[in-house]
Amino acid sequence: MNKPLLSAGVNGCGLNPLSRETGSSLIVVLIMLTVIFAMGVIAAKLSLFGEGAARNDRDRQIAFQSAESALLDAELDMMGPNNSANRRICKFDSLVIAEFVEGCGTGTNTGMCQNGAAPGDAWKTVKSNYTTESGTSSSNLTVEYGQFTGQTLPTGSSGLPIRLPRYTIEAVRYSGTGAATDSVASSKTEYAFLVTAMGFGVRQQTQVMLQALVYKPANKPNSGC
């Protein structure tokens, strides 16, 4: 009886060993492609996260510089030099604070504040006004940058604040500079001026608030006040 001949390269079960090897290689390749794809997705997400963090940091720096600009503007408002037609330098005197009202004033006294119950906290009573108010309306309680100094600050373009910063100035009791000539026991109460400024980034949601305490001596005779 003649025995059937097996084809070359085919085992006793009639299967080609190369087909098994080909199937295993395909699985390995698919696994490797899956891993590479996953690594690519992770790398892309990390890159986007880093870009977002850098953008947020830049936005905060813009808001910080905007708030600093408002502090400098407030100093010009109080101390000069100031040639603006709206200047009000004479309203600030360490011995006279009659025009500072409870809460904050309006009109020519815009942003001039007091808080008898909690000195130093007057800004908290108008904190929502920093973001809701705009321009130089006579009813505003916060001061817009340049309102009383004529200073200008570019806004709105790429890399610039979305809007002008705003500030308030609160009269607070002051105990002197610590110099030997200070008369702390004097019957006259002296005041310093607490400036609270808010700056904005390229988005209004990005906000930085800074404070500075400014002392201005009493206006001297023949100073024009």
- 45-68: per-residue pLDDT in tens? 777 766 767 788 999 999 999 999
State how far the Cα of 67 lies from the Cα of 12, in Å rounded to an integer. 86
Between residues 77 and 177, the one the model is more confident about: 77
| Alpha carbon 69 to its chain's center | 12
Q: pLDDT class for 17, splitting at 50, 70, 90?
A: low
pLDDT in the model for residue 184: 46
Instruction: Classify residue 59 by burial, with Cβ atoms within 10 Å: 0-12, 13-18, 19+.
Output: buried
Alpha carbon separation from 122 to 71, 148, 167 (Å, rounded): 17, 20, 12
pTM of the model: 0.75
| Mean pLDDT score across all residues of the chain | 85
